Chain A
Amino acid sequence: MRMITMGLRQALLLAGALTLAVTATAAKAADPSHAQQFHEEPAIISTLLVDRLEHRLKDGENTLDWDIKGFIGGDSDKLWLNAKGSKPVESGAEKAEFQLLYSRLISEFWDAQVGVRHDVRPQPQTTYAVAGLQGLAPYFFDVNAQAFLSEDGALSARLEAEYDLLITQRLILQPVAEMNVSARRVRELDLGRGITDIELGLRLRYEVAREFAPYIGVNWERKLGETADITRRHGEDASAVSFVTGVRFWF
């Protein structure tokens, strides 16, 4: 346990150091002799994208779900902060995950990322080391593949892919798929071994502006294998269909 805490602390230190490094670069860019010469290394930029902020209407308890990403950095090096979670409308959060990642350009379409993930919910709170690849696969599939090593040494992985199908310039249909895999059973988190769950979504958004798009859609979640058994043993459904309404916006 002590060692693990150290691990976390080191991870946080690393993140801190990265932040400092980025800030230092930003400071350099802010030096007037550099910053005003547009053709010098471009300034540090940052953004915050609320990719999904939605209400899920389903059999049983309705939830509020979010998926938020932001970064600060330059062309090659960035610091990403991701937050993702779900909360029943009537009660506290069931899932709440945060990631702090250092991201490095490795090709035109791909970034390699390393960092930490900390889940506040479900309990017990868990910290993971993260290594991943984020980018654009041929045929315009946005892909995010991440591997996690928990403080207990449990290895898991997540693969997300989405695609924007333009019906018109503003009306966009977005299929999304997500799959989680665990290398071993994690009793505390009710996870079995193998593929733990998949999620398929289809969202239709209308870009009022590029920065703001309300959407509607359907989402289907299904727990699989051991995980599904565990869920059923708790008396819950292994699958759920929900109708979603939400907004996507960024700054």
Chain B
Amino acid sequence: MNTASRGLSRRDALKLAVMAGLAGVVTAYPERRTFAATQQTLDLAVERSRLTIDGATSRGIAIGGSIPAPTLRWREGQEVVVHVTNKLDEPTSIHWHGLLLLGVMDGAPGFNGYQPIMPGETYTYRFQLRQAGTYWYHSHSAGQEQEGMYGAIVIEPAERDPVRADRDYVVVLSDHTPERPDAVLRKLKLGSVSEGYYNRGKRTLFDFFQDVDRDGFDATVRNRLDWGDMLMEPTDLADVTGYSFLVNGKGPQDNWTALFNPGERVRLRIINASAMTIFDLRIPGLPMTVVAADGQNVVPVKVDEFRFGVGETYDVLVLPQEDKAFTLFAEPIDRTGFARATLAPREGMSGDVPARRPRTVLTMADMGMDHGSMAGMDHGSMAGMDHGSMKGMDHSAMMGMGTGSMPGMDHSAMPGMNHGAMAGMDQGMAKASDRALGWADAATPPGTKALSYADLKAFSKTRDLREPAQEIVVRLTGMMSRYIWTLNGAKFDQGTPIRVAYGDRIRIRFVNETMMAHPMHLHGMFVELENGQKDRLPRKHVVLVPPGQTTSVQLTADEPGEWPFHCHLLYHMASGMMTRFIVERRTASL
């Protein structure tokens, strides 16, 4: 069954926002009833619920009666009042992901004086909207986010939107498991008993013979010994499997559909509300123009696909001209399934479901192994790469390279190539598309463009151009086999919190010492990604740090408080990958 929905045109949305006045406009799933709240406030109940995905029903937790939770459409500058009532038999919370607000309104229990909402209690959130764009909200308690407590926030700008669209849709991606989150975490933590519980893509004896056939016996054995020596699995891309991947709460068979008339300009506000899933997203046949990242406008950039970290949002525009159905297709990086939705001129249509991409195999480069130079990367992601072809590489191919997997490369040895484009070189190279090597390799076909962080350029200029007064190194660490994830080697509240002075310009260097990508999320403030865009560093609330790589961001510590700073992979956060980021006002005591 296709539950199609009517998008809100910008004008409609504006009209509704105006009608709503100070209160919110709620768009509810799955029928997306749209109504304008006439009262000053919004009431949202949190309660146990059930959801049916592709015909299978399982349990979940709903906010405001639906999974995903209702889309909150607000307007920049308005004051928002939300009463959240906990109808569960356990504490809950709602965190407004990406919103700039007072700490106690941020909704992370144990921070900024915010207490969890106990069963039967109601908490009133009240804050002024100081920004526009696409954001989301979710539980910050236990594994409730995984169970369905997530929804979209759309804030119309007070001034003219630099983007004009005929239709405006929210596309919430998520991962759903019938397992209880605490059961998932337990299995991850059982270590030697359940080892690799969710990895059904480990390398087998058959893979060994296949690799011997392709790479030769010596190389294959050397490769196995390298991984064996480190006690790591090169197929370990995602921790949890068994997920259904949803678009607006709908499974691939349910096929959530958005309507358009050919020639219309359609804005998709895409949110990765997954607990654990990094996606590669594309709409075959329809290039996407990325106009905002993490709710913040960027200089438009046209891409064919993008890699989508947990917690991130991208606003894209598509201009379908033909009278046909297009498939929005999002594959998790471990390729264990897909999320699918349809853009169509009429209900009941469906486009082709594209061929599945191969699952990548991690390389030594993803381990941060320093091989010194390209020549030395014999078993790294450069294997198979034709060095001769590098010289003739045209700019369009360069642009197609994503964030990457080549930390050990000596960039100085490659004059004329910019740093941003080099990272993830393998992605853009013409290569047998049945095989992907290295974390960054999304098996992007030659001639198509995948968004790279280096492409993101803030729409408005960086306001604070001071040199950072303080540099903080945050090592992303962990004991994978134990499922203990840490920052700077310490679990949450066992390490030293990060302290910065209010008003200072700060640089944070994320050094990923693990073989997994970590979407690092700071509450309370945007970070500005140092991606080479000088005075237009893109503002982000989640930065996906690839395995074995270093990524730097800057920020102006202008929001006093004690903010959560964590990996947005739910079970990484749950197992310790979190710290406190304290912005302190300078005291006169010295």
Contact = CB atoms under 8 A, between A and B. Distances in A.
A234 to B, nearest CB: 37
A41 interface: yes
Contact of A138 (B181, B231, B493): B231
B242 to A, nearest CB: 10
Contacts of B348: none
Contacts of B185: 42
Contacts of A75: 189, 482, 484, 491, 575-576
Contacts of A136: 192, 231, 481
Contacts of A210: 194, 197
A139 B229 contact: yes
A169 B200 contact: yes
A218 to B, nearest CB: 19
A37 B92 CA distance: 9
A5 interface: no
Nearest to B144: A38
Contacts of B197: 210
A215 to B, nearest CB: 16
Nearest to B564: A39
B257 interface: no
Interface stretch (B159-167, B201-209, B359-367, B449-457): B201-209
Interface stretch (A20-28, A43-51, A83-91, A93-101): A43-51
A59 interface: no
B116 A39 contact: no
B200 A37 contact: no
A138 B231 CA distance: 6
A30 to B, nearest CB: 12
A142 B228 contact: no
A37 B189 contact: no
Interface in B219-242: 225, 228-229, 231
Interface in B334-385: none
Contacts of A165: 205
Contacts of B109: 36-37
Interface string B171-210: 0000000000110011001101110010011111110000
Interface residues of A, number: 31
Contact of A105 (B205, B480, B482): B482
Nearest to B200: A169
Which residue, A42, A108, A134, A165, has most C-beta atoms of chain B within 10 A? A42
A169 B492 contact: no
Q: A-side binding surface: helix, strand, loop or mixed? A: loop
A38 B142 contact: yes
A235 interface: no
A142 B231 CA distance: 11
Contacts of A36: 90-91, 109, 116, 141-142
B142 A142 contact: no
B129 interface: no
Given A39-B566, A39-B578, A168 B206 contact: yes
Contact of B206 (A69, A105, A167): A167
A188 interface: no
B354 to A, nearest CB: 25
Contacts of B110: 37, 39-40
A220 interface: no
Contacts of A38: 141-143, 181, 570, 573-574
Given A42-B189, A45-B186, A169-B201, A138 B228 contact: yes
B479 interface: yes
Nearest to A75: B484
A140 B228 contact: yes
A41 B228 contact: no
B487 to A, nearest CB: 12
A166 interface: yes
Interface string B17-37: 000000000000000000000
Contacts of B480: 108
B574 A140 contact: no
30 contacts: A33-B116, A36-B142, A37-B110, A37-B141, A38-B573, A38-B574, A39-B578, A40-B493, A41-B492, A42-B574, A43-B182, A45-B190, A47-B186, A47-B190, A47-B193, A47-B194, A75-B189, A75-B482, A75-B576, A105-B482, A139-B229, A139-B231, A140-B231, A166-B203, A167-B205, A167-B206, A169-B202, A169-B204, A210-B194, A250-B190
Interface of B: 90-91, 109-110, 116, 118, 141-143, 181-182, 185-186, 189-190, 192-194, 197, 200-206, 225, 228-229, 231, 479-482, 484, 491-493, 564, 566, 570, 573-576, 578
Closest 5 CB pairs of A and B: A139-B228, A108-B479, A166-B204, A36-B91, A38-B574
Interface of A: 32-33, 36-43, 45, 47, 49, 69, 75, 105, 108-109, 134, 136, 138-140, 142, 165-169, 210, 250
